[in-house]
Structure 1
Amino acid sequence: MSGFFSKQRITASQGYNRWMVPPAALSVHLCIGQAYAFSVFNDPLSKLIGITESTPDDWKLTTLGWTFSLAIVFLGLSAAFGGKWLEKVGPRLTMFVAACCFGGGFWIAALGVYLHQIWLLYVGYGVIGGIGLGLGYVSPVSTLIKWFPDRRGMATGMAIMGFGGGAMIGAPLAVLLMDHFKSATSVGVLETFMVMGGVYFVSMLIGALTIRIPPNDWKPEGWTPPVIQNKMITNNHVHIDRALLTPQFYLLWLVLCLNVTAGIGVLGQASVMIQEMFKGAVTPAAAAGFVGLLSLFNMGGRFFWSSASDFLGRKNTYIIFFALGAVLYATVPTLGQLGNIGLFILLYAIIMSMYGGGFSTIPAYLADIFGTRYVGGIHGRLLTAWSTAGVAGPVLVNYIREFQIAQGVAKSDAYNVTMYIMAGVLVIGFICNMLIRPVHAKHHMRHDEFDELDGVFPHGAASDAH
C-alpha cells in the first residue's frame, strides 16, 4: 500500500502532458470549497425537531455557527502540521487522507444529526472535516508550481479558483438534495450529509489517483529558465523550519491575515449589509443575487489576479490589493449615503476579486521568496493566518455593528465605522508588504542539505534544480 502511495509511483514519465494535473487539483478544491456554502444547512439544522419551525430543544443558530468556525480553524492547523508531511510523502497520500477526512466528516456529522448530538457535528464537519479541508487545500499547490515554473501564479490560480467556486456547486447541490429528501418528519439534512460525503469522497479520490509529480530537473519543453533579474525571486531554497526564522515569513503571514480579515468579515454579512444600507430598495432575493455575484468575483479574482501577478510581480499585485482596497472600503459609506446601489455593487465585486486573489497569489509569492522546494509545507504553515482571520474578521464586523446599534446608530449607518476600520487594516497590510525583502543568504539550503528521503533532490544536487 505504501508503494502505491509513494512519490516514486506517481512521478510522471518524460513527455507527460502537464495539463492533466490541473483537473486532478480541481477535483479536490471544488469539493472542499463547499465549506463556503455550509450556511445553507444552518436553518434546516435549527429545525431538526420542529421541522417547520425551531423548538426550544432545537439547536440555535449561534450554536451552529461554531461548526464553520471550527472547520476553518482546523483547516489552518492541519495545513500547518500536514504541510511538512506532504513534502515527505507526496500529494497522492495526502489527497487520499483529505478525501477520507472530508467525506468521513460528513458521515460523522450525519450521525450527529441522527442522534441530535451537537458535539458530533462539531467533531465530524468541524474537526475531521476541517483536517480534510487543510490537507486537501495544500496538497496540489506545490505540485502545480513545480509543473508550471513558467507561470507560477496561473498555476496556483487554477487550483485555488476551484476552492472559491466550490460553494457555487455545493450550495445548490445541498438545497436540491434537502428538497428531495425532506418529508413531514425530516428536513432532509441527514440524508444530504450522507450523499454529499460519498460524492465528495469519490471526487477527491479520483484527484488523488490521477495526480502526478514531475521528474527531477523537469522543465517545460522549449522553456529555458530565465536569468532572474528580479531580486524578489530566488533560485535558492529555504527549509520549512528555517523559514520560520525569517522576518519574511511573518510579514507574509500578516499580509495574508490582514487581506483576509478585511474581506471575510464583510463577505459573511453581505446579504444583511446591502439590505440595511439600502433599506427598502433591495429585496432578500436581490440580496441573495448580490452574494452570488460576489462569489463569482471571488472565484474569478483567484485566477485573474494570480495570473496577472506573473507579469506584475507578486509584491506589486499586493500593493494594488491593499492600496485600491483601502480606497474602496473608505468610499463605501459615502455610496450608502448617496443611495448609489450600482456603484456599491461594483466596488464590492472588485473588493471580493482582490480578496480571492490574495489566496491564490500567496503560494507563488512564497515560492518566489523561499524557493519551490518546500513551498507546500511553508504555505501550510502560513494558512494559520486564514484561521486567525476567519475568527477576527466576522468578530470585528459583527461586534462593531452591534455596538453601533446599541449606541442608537441607525442600521443603515452601522457599517460606516467598520468600513473605515477595514480600510485601516488594509493600510497596515500595505506597510507589511512594502517591508518584504529577499531572504538573507544565510537561510538558503546548501548542496549537502537536501534530504534524500524527500525523493526529489539527491545529495549533491544543485539548489536551483527545480
Structure 2
Amino acid sequence: MGFAATLDKNLSIAKPEFNRWLIPPAALAIHLSIGQAYAFSVFNAPLNKAYGWSIPSLGWIFSLAIVFLGLSAAFGGKWLERVGPRATMFTAALCFGGGFLVSALGISTQQLWLLYLGYGVLGGVGLGLGYVSPVSTLIKWFPDRRGMATGLAIMGFGGGAMIGAPLAVYLMDKFKSDAGPGIAETFVFMGLIYTVSMLIGAFTVRLPAPGWKPEGFVEKEDPKKLASHVYVDADTALKTPQFWLMWAVLCLNVTAGIGVLGQASLMIQEVFKGSVTAAAAAGFVGLLSIFNMGGRFFWSSVSDLIGRKTTYLVFLLLGAVLYALVPTVGAGSVALFVGLYAVILSMYGGGFATIPAYLSDKFGTRYVGAIHGRLLTAWSAAGVLGPVIVNYMRDYQISQGVAKASAYSTTMYVMAGLLIVGFICNALITNVDEKFISRED
C-alpha cells in the first residue's frame, strides 16, 4: 500500500472498538496550530523595524489570510466531504506550514510579496481547510453533543494565539544575532512545528462507520433538528432562505466583534488616557483572548441545552445592549469597560463554535462540512467590514474635532444596531422546507 493510499477516505473509517474521545485531541492539534493566525501581529513591529515595511502594508498579510480562509473553506468544503477529513487535514498541514517557509524565504530575500503569497494565500488556504475539516467529523462522532464537540475544536482556534504569540517572541529573541533579527529562522521553525502537529491530527482522525451511533444513544424526534438520515446537500442549501439568514447572522455577529478585537489595545488606552498603560492594554487584549476562547466551549455547550436559535438570540440581543452601554456605563470605569468587552468577546467566540451545530440542526450532518465552508465566506466579509467601520469612523470623528476618548461612542452604537439587524435575521430562521430535503435509502 503506497503512501497516497493512507489518505483514502475508506481507510480512515474507524473499527468498532475505536474510542471517539480521541477525535477532539486530533481536532485540537489542527485548530491550536492554525489559531496562530490571531497572533500574527507580533511580527508586524519587528518586520517594520528590521526591513522598513510599513505597518499598513504588513496588515494586508493577515487580511489576505482571512480572505483565503473563507474562500478555501467555501470551495474546499465539498471536496472535504468527497475525500474525507484525513486528506483535507494533510493538505491543510502542507499549506499552512508551507506558507511559513515561503514567508521565511520572502523575509530573508526582503521580498514582501512572498509574505503575501506565503502566509496570506498559501497559509490562508491551510487555515480554511484546517478550520472546516475537524468540525464535520466531530459532529458525526457526537450526534448527542453537537455543540460541545464543535466547541472543543473551535476553542483551539481561539486559543492558538496564546501559544503562538509567546512562542514567536521567544524564538525571535533566541535566533537574534549580529547577522540578523532572527525572524526568518523563527518562521522556518514555526512552520515545521505546526506542520508536524497538524500531521499528527490528520493521521489520528477517523470517520465513524456508516450507521454508527454512540452506545445507548437513541435519536429522539426533535422538530428543531433534522434526523441523522435526513439531509440537505450543499448546493441545495444555497437555495434556502435559512442559509442566507444564517450567513447574515454570522457576518453581523463577527463584524461587531472583530472590529473591536483589532483595535482593543489602542481603544482602552485612548478611552482611559493616562490611567491605562501599554502593558495594561496588552493584558486587556490577553484577557479578551481568554474569553474569546472560553466562550467557544461555554456557549456551544449551553446551546446543547437551550438550542442554537435561542443561544444566538442571546448573543445578538445581549450584545446589542452591552455595546450600547459601553459609551456611558463602560467609559466611566475601567473595570466595567473590561467586563463589558469580556462578555462581548465570549459571545463573539461562541458564535463561531455554535454555528456548525446550528447548520447541522437545519441541514443535517451529512454535508455539514461543505455547507459550513460556504457559510464561512461571511467571516471573510466581516473581516473587512469590522475593521473598516471601527477604523474609518474613529478617524472621521477625530477629524471633526471629537476627542479621542469619545471617538468610539458612535461606532459602538453602530455595532449595537448591526446586532439588532442580526437579531431580526435569527428570529426569521425556521425549519427548511420539505422540498429541499433528501432522505437516505
TM-score range, shorter chain: over 0.9
* Alignment equivalent of 1:356, drawn from 349, 362, 365: 349
Go from structure 1 to structure 2 and tell me whether the alpha carbon gap of 1:84 and 1:387 turns closer, same or farther (over 3 Å shift).
Answer: same
| Aligned partners of 1:277 and 1:336 also within 8 Å | no
| Residues 286-306 of structure 1 deviation map (CA, whole Å, 9 limit, x = unaligned) | 100000000000000000000
User: 1:234 offset after TM fit, Å?
Assistant: 4.9
Which string of whole-angstrom CA distances, capped at 9 and with x for unpartnered residues, describes residues 226-279 of structure 1?
122x33545520000000000111000001000000000000100010111011
| Equivalent residue in structure 2 for 1:443, among 429, 436, 441 | 436
1:406 pairs, out of 384, 394, 399, with: 399
**Aligned counterpart in structure 2 of residue 384 of structure 1, from 370, 377, 386:** 377
Contact kept in structure 2, 1:181 and 1:188, CA below 8 Å: yes
Please list every run of 5 or more consecutive structure 2 residues that lacks an aligned counterpart in the other structure. Answer: none
**Equivalent in 148, 151, 164 of residue 145 of structure 2:** 151
Counterparts of residues 21-40 of structure 1 (less than 5 Å): 21-40=23-42
Amino acid at match of 1:6: D
Instruction: Choose the corresponding residue for 1:137, options 131, 136, 140.
Output: 131
Verify: 1:369 aligned to 2:362, yes or no.
Answer: yes
Q: Determine if the alignment matches structure 1 residue 198 to structure 2 residue 225.
A: no
Equivalenced residues, count = 438
Q: 2:299 aligns with which of 271, 293, 305?
A: 305
Q: 2:58 aligns with which of 59, 64, 67?
A: 64
Residue in 1 aligned with 2:387?
394
Q: Does 1:223 align with 2:217?
A: yes
Aligned to 2:285: 291
Is this contact kept in 2: 1:255–1:429, CA < 8 A? yes
Give 3-state SS (helix, strand or coil) of 2:356's partner: helix
Distance 1:335 1:184 in 2: 51
> Quick one: which of 317, 320, 327 aligns to 2:311?
317
Asked if 1:86 is matched to 2:80, the reply is yes
Determine the structure 2 residue equivalent to 1:344: 337
Which residue type is aligned with residue 39 of structure 1? S
Q: Is the 8 A contact 1:234 1:370 kept in 2?
A: no
Match of 1:125 among 119, 128, 132: 119
SS in 2 for 1:212: coil
Conservation of the 8 A alpha-carbon contact between 1:259 and 1:358 = yes
| Amino acid in the other structure paired with 1:297 | F
1:20 counterpart (19, 22, 29): 22
Secondary structure in structure 1 of the residue aligned to 2:301: helix
Structure 1 gap ranges (5+)? 50-57, 448-460, 462-466
Alpha-carbon distance in 2 for matches of 1:182, 1:405: 39
Asked whether the equivalents of residues 335 and 341 of structure 1 are also in contact (C-alpha less than 8 Å), the reply is no
Q: Does 1:418 align with 2:418?
A: no
Tell me which residue corresponds to 2:422: 429
Q: CA deviation at 1:337?
A: 4.2
Provide the C-alpha distance between the structure 1 equivalents of 2:215 and 2:155, rounded to a whole number of angstroms.
Answer: 26
Return the letter of the residue paired with 2:214: P
Change (3 A) 1:197 1:354: same
TM-score, normalising length: structure 1: 0.93
RMSD value over aligned CA atoms?
Answer: 0.9
Q: Does the CA-based 8 Å contact 1:232-1:437 persist in structure 2?
A: no
The structure with the largest helix share of the pair is 2
2:331/2:337 contact within 8 Å kept: no
Deviation at 1:8, TM superposition (A): 1.3
Task: Tell me the distance in 2 between the aligned counterparts of 1:257 and 1:337.
Answer: 27
Alignment-derived partner of residue 332 in structure 1: 326
Q: Percent identity over the alignment?
A: 69
